[in-house]
Amino acid sequence: QVQLVESGGGLVQPGGSLRLSCAASGSIFYRMGWYRQAPGKQREWVGTIIRDGTTNYADAVKGRFTVSRENDKNTVFLQMNSLKREDTAVYYCYSDDRFVGYSRSWGQGTQVTVSS
């Protein structure tokens, strides 16, 4: 049902910034957010924004990353500041159609590489 289109990944130096975007189509979102998976590591939750605007973040990114959404559109952003080498990962966006008993849709992922 839901199609997700991601953009914004790339190569950035430590301390730099990058902004990812993910646009959903096909239905109204109730929850959208981001996961990431570093090489050899398990997939890790990054942050979420709920339809009412409430946000939550993993401890590892608090104070550096911000999840936001575009008004009147099912588009979510991940603003990443003060990037560290350990932030290198494939970043995946997701969308849930409801708060409970949801059907989750995933983007294909976008590579973020933090390196000097």
pLDDT tens track for 6-15: 999 999 999 9
- In whole angstroms, give the CA distance from residue 9 to residue 7: 6
Dihedral (CA of 111, 106, 98, 74) sign: positive
Specify whether the CB–CB gap between 104 and 96 falls below 8 A. yes
pLDDT tens track for 19-65: 999 998 866 689 999 999 999 999 999 999 998 899 999 999 999 99
